[in-house]
Structure 1
Amino acid sequence: MSRGKIAVIGAGPGGLAAAMLLSGNGYDVTVYEMQQTIGGRTSRLELGDYRFDLGPTFFMMPHLLEEIFQSVGRSLYDYVTMIDLDPLYRLQFGDTDFRPTRNQEEMVDRIEMLFPGNGAGYRRFMREEEEKFRRVSPLLQRPFRKPWDYVARDVLAALPKLHATDSVYNRLSRYFTDERLIYSFTFQAKYLGMSPWECPGTFTILSFLEHRYGLHHPVGGVNRICHAMAQVIAEYGGVIHTSTPVERVLIRNGEAVGVELPDGERREYDHVVINADFATAMNTLFQPGDLKKFAPSKLAEKKYSCSTYMLYLGVNRKVSLPHHTILFADDYRSNVKDIMSNGALSSDASVYVHNPAANDPTLAPEGKSALYVLMPVPNMTASIDWRDKEATVRESVLARLERLPELAGLSGDIEVEASLTPAGWRDQYGVYRGATFNLAHSLDQMMMLRPHNQFDELRNCWLVGGGTHPGSGLPTIFESARISAGLLMKQDRETASRLRRGWRLTEEGKGARA
């Protein structure tokens, strides 16, 4: 017997994880996805015989998702083959080629060879960040809804290690003296769409997590994880509707009671879980006046991440690059300032290249390569006309790539290609302002100050994904699903318990009257 009916809006990784948890715990779950395929920003793009991850291209801390699978009687590894990458990535600073590894002894040797005198700082970083992560981790696994949540024991234990009023760059400067090495441990702030000079120092744990737990590649691409969750949902009787947008969340007496589809059909549910891009969902899924805290004018005042310009290239030769390569701008600080503060396109930009054929032959025909190229750029608040600028940006990115000997002549080897601009992220994928990494992770938009997992403005409405606590990035998105699903089930247990007590009291009263 079903424990209740759930509508999940959006089949991104957070929505799928929540749907898997709820269906595995006896709920009747229906997922609505507006795109033709599942995954949201973690979906797959196919160009002829080439396949690409649309957004995220690596997976950290798979053991967290394995815990979610195990909680519903499944194992991630029965559905997905995972490759542990070594080196983690290639970082290119001019002529300096730095390839970090998880092997700490080998890492010290590589640091000392390229950045003499910094090996001890690396050891100290790993030791101190281990303790920091141990204290911060519990805060990423539970909700923050009320001010008194901040005085809980785990928060008080973490406070001395949070470094929230410092910056990622300043924190890393305490460990390393070479600017290039500092950048090697601060560029991860881009995963949050933020500048390392502005990103709270708490997030030095991102680079630590890479070096401690590694980077993993699911064979077939990161989107395989979404399909694994979808398979489990189906095994438990859940249904996923693709090409099926939701027009409105139905509201009755301050409670979410279902969804309305574009054809006017109304379907009632006991709970509604929202996984769509947060600001877009608030602007489109509710009638004017339904919301006060997240009205359009208030959403416009919030801070949002940068965006990305994407190229997906099917190349008719094998490319001898590692799985991940980052080409740093000669003046990295100016490049970041252009993106985050100036709203400008840098003439000297940093570029990321994903070459999964280095380890996974399933994404391109034999002897060929599926290259994914990403350049961080300002979001749509910048006055950049992408219809006018895109061709120029494409040529500059390809010229930057062709400066690498391994990619010389790349332009002539492209068989198929597609691109995605900030305008494309907004218009094709519903990403507010094209802010690829969602709400920024500034101090005033973290923990209790981030939209809550249990939606404040409506009962029986829940948020999952990068726009709620604990934030963006796949591991934290999965944690958001675990938190929200847990709160939902706890509420239902408490409601059922109150009803049982009420029934018993009623029956006892009848007996006394008899």
Structure 2
Amino acid sequence: MTLPTPPTPRKTALIIGSGIGGLSLGIRLQSLGFDTTILERLDAPGGRAYQKRTEDGYVFDMGPTVITVPHFIEELFALERDKAMLAEPDYPAQVLAEDARVREGESGGPRTRDYVKLVPILPFYRIYFDDGTFFDYDGDPVSTRRQISELAPEDLAGYERFHEDARAIFERGFLELGYTHFGDVPSMLRVVPDLMRLDAVRTLFSFTSKYFENPKMRQVFSFETLLVGGNPLSVPAIYAMIHFVEKTWGIHYAMGGTGALVRAFVQKFEELGGTIEYGQGVDEILVTDDRGRAVRAPVGRRVARGVRLESGQERRADIVVSNGDWANTYLRRVPAAARLVNTDLRVKAARQSMSLLVIYFGFRREGADLQLRHHNIILGPRYEALLTEIFGQKVLGQDFSQYLHVPTLTDPSLAPEGHHAAYTLVPVPHNASGLDWTVEGPKLVERVYDFLEERGYIPNLRARLTHSEFITPDYFAGTLDSYLGNAFGPEPVLIQSAFFRPHNRSEDVRNLYMVGAGAQPGGGTPSVMMSAKMTARLIAEDFGIHPSVRDGVPEQAGSRVPSAAD
């Protein structure tokens, strides 16, 4: 009598953190045939993209509000259980077509529409200068040229050159190299000649200054890296590709806020069989040698076996992935004896991105008195000097710039009837500054409110204000467990890019991976979704899972990675 062959047990995965990167990877791991559990320290999903609902009827996205590259989202919602689909084209022909950008109506793909409603936002940003003039940044060549001819006619020819050179950087840096995991030096050296040829290694501000003489245009075409934690004065010019990412696919909004997109990802993850647990902070990543013994020195094979929760409970799994802060993952959760590459010295020496003061406020509507748009960039009187103070000197200046988000201009459901919900984000130094935010935070909030009212951005704001709260770098350091209270992970400077940015596959511990803003390719909503796909590919490679398996449990024979049960 022939006994039936018992089914191959599924591999298991633990993901620390339910940010957009962690949720995206969770969905992909379920499609790879893993049984995945996401452990979230907070009481709801999202991480930096946490959404807060107040007792007086306001809904605030706590973090990211700008959504680009809708087909990244569509790709996640199209995944199915045990159908890996990692070999599919990263950029199908239809998303590169001339008419790929949706300008009106609903902008999500057919599978996205089953979960969340995306709509395009125009202009992408209204950029206000200190003299009261503004530039509506909308990706439309005719509109862009018209506004340049009005504000800085001397830069019209320069814009044409910038446009073509930024396109070349986008095509090479985003379309061709965007999903490249730089895990070794040769992988980086192969692309250096092209980046040098494109002049993509000089700083972004220096790059834009080649084309634009007018300070306003230099600011318009360099400010965007601040939304991913990068200083335009020091990030490499490869970030000029952001201009074309937005121009190609537009800026979008999830009705109900970014929190609605997060909830949709949770729904998809659970539909694929994944599990998410809240209030489950991770105290330590359990690491042993390949015989299951405690690691006492950073030599020999080191293997992640699971995690120990803050409650003391231990969870075992075949792989562990951190969607948390890169620095604190290693400094606080991986034993020092298990770290040969990501040592305390190396991690602490890394440059962290700046932090933020974010004010969440609600106010009464008064007719059509707002000239603001959904996304507003309000630049102060100084640009280069202010950036130097924030990133270099780590001090608070006498002036500030801010990103003012008023989503109720698009989606009134986020506030009580007759009211607006808004948040304004002010870049500030991280906590290496030594600033006491219990003192400086309230003072800066008052300065911001005074500015918005006195400069006429929100007339009579003080009298109309019905809700006000704020966060500082202490929120990022405490609630979000970010090293030094950074808001975006390692700063995306040249010496922390490509191979020199934290690797998605740990160099120190087998079965340990990173995903999200702290890993490659970097910060920003589209980048963390790209990070999830890159990490999923590395896991598939390590476990012998063919990336194009479509039916049944992907084969895992020949895996070079030991199991948690070993």
Q: TM-score range by the shorter chain?
A: over 0.9
Of 161, 182, 187, 1:149 maps to 187
Report the equivalent of 1:498: 558
Of 434, 441, 452, 2:492 maps to 441
- The one-letter code sitting in structure 2 at the alignment partner of 1:266 is E
1:139 aligns with 2:177: yes
Alpha-carbon offset, residue 108 of structure 1: 1.0
Aligned residue for 2:440, secondary structure, equals helix
Question: How many residues get paired?
Answer: 498
1:317 aligns with 2:365: yes
Report the equivalent of 1:79: 115
1:38 aligns with 2:45: yes
Report the equivalent of 2:132: 95
> Which ranges in structure 2 are unaligned for 5 or more consecutive residues?
1-6, 84-109, 290-301, 546-554, 561-566
1:318-350 deviation per Cα after TM superposition (whole angstroms, max 9, x unaligned): 562210111111122221121111211111111
- Counterpart contact for 2:126–2:136, Cα < 8 Å: yes
Report the equivalent of 1:65: 73
1:263-302 deviation per Cα after TM superposition (whole angstroms, max 9, x unaligned): 3222211111111111122122123433232233332111
- Counterpart contact for 1:68–1:482, Cα < 8 Å: no
Aligned residue for 1:441, secondary structure, equals coil
> Structure 2: how far apart are the matches of 1:454 and 1:288?
18
> Structure 2: how far apart are the matches of 1:37 and 1:390?
26
Report the equivalent of 2:431: 380
Evaluate the alpha carbon distance shift between residue 156 and residue 67 of structure 1 in structure 2; reply closer, same or farther with a 3 A threshold. Answer: farther
Aligned residue for 1:249, secondary structure, equals strand
1:189-220 deviation per Cα after TM superposition (whole angstroms, max 9, x unaligned): 21232321212111111233223322111111
Of 13, 17, 21, 2:20 maps to 13
Greater displacement, 129-138 / 300-309: 129-138
Q: Percent identity?
A: 29
Greater displacement, 184-193 / 431-440: 184-193
Alpha-carbon offset, residue 156 of structure 1: 5.0
Matches within 5 A, 1:322-341: 322-341=373-392
- Counterpart contact for 2:188–2:498, Cα < 8 Å: no
> Structure 2: how far apart are the matches of 1:365 and 1:67?
34
1:259 aligns with 2:307: yes
- The one-letter code sitting in structure 2 at the alignment partner of 1:3 is R
Aligned residue for 1:488, secondary structure, equals helix
1:425-470 deviation per Cα after TM superposition (whole angstroms, max 9, x unaligned): 1112111111101101112211111111111111111110111111
Report the equivalent of 2:340: 292
Aligned residue for 2:78, secondary structure, equals helix
- Counterpart contact for 2:233–2:387, Cα < 8 Å: no
**TM-score of the pair, normalised by structure 2:** 0.84
1:461 aligns with 2:512: yes
Greater displacement, 121-130 / 219-228: 121-130
- The one-letter code sitting in structure 1 at the alignment partner of 2:265 is M
> Structure 1: how far apart are the matches of 2:530 and 2:193?
21
> Structure 2: how far apart are the matches of 1:117 and 1:422?
41
- The one-letter code sitting in structure 2 at the alignment partner of 1:252 is T
> Which ranges in structure 1 are unaligned for 5 or more consecutive residues?
501-514
Detail structure 1 runs of 4+ shifted over 4 Å in the superposition.
154-159
1:163 aligns with 2:200: yes
Aligned residue for 1:349, secondary structure, equals coil
> Structure 1: how far apart are the matches of 2:276 and 2:16?
10
Matches within 5 A, 1:202-213: 202-213=238-249
> Structure 1: how far apart are the matches of 2:50 and 2:111?
21
Alpha-carbon offset, residue 125 of structure 1: 2.2
- The one-letter code sitting in structure 1 at the alignment partner of 2:170 is F
- Counterpart contact for 2:365–2:419, Cα < 8 Å: yes
Report the equivalent of 1:231: 267
> Structure 2: how far apart are the matches of 1:125 and 1:499?
47
State the superposition RMSD in angstroms: 2.0
> Structure 2: how far apart are the matches of 1:352 and 1:499?
47
Aligned residue for 2:177, secondary structure, equals helix
**TM-score of the pair, normalised by structure 1:** 0.92
- The one-letter code sitting in structure 2 at the alignment partner of 1:296 is D
1:149-175 deviation per Cα after TM superposition (whole angstroms, max 9, x unaligned): 1344x66545522521x1111111122
Evaluate the alpha carbon distance shift between residue 394 and residue 151 of structure 1 in structure 2; reply closer, same or farther with a 3 A threshold. Answer: closer
- Counterpart contact for 1:352–1:374, Cα < 8 Å: yes
> Structure 2: how far apart are the matches of 1:128 and 1:288?
45
Alpha-carbon offset, residue 423 of structure 1: 1.4
Of 52, 61, 65, 1:53 maps to 61
**Whose helix fraction is larger, Structure 1's or Structure 2's?**
1
- The one-letter code sitting in structure 2 at the alignment partner of 1:197 is L
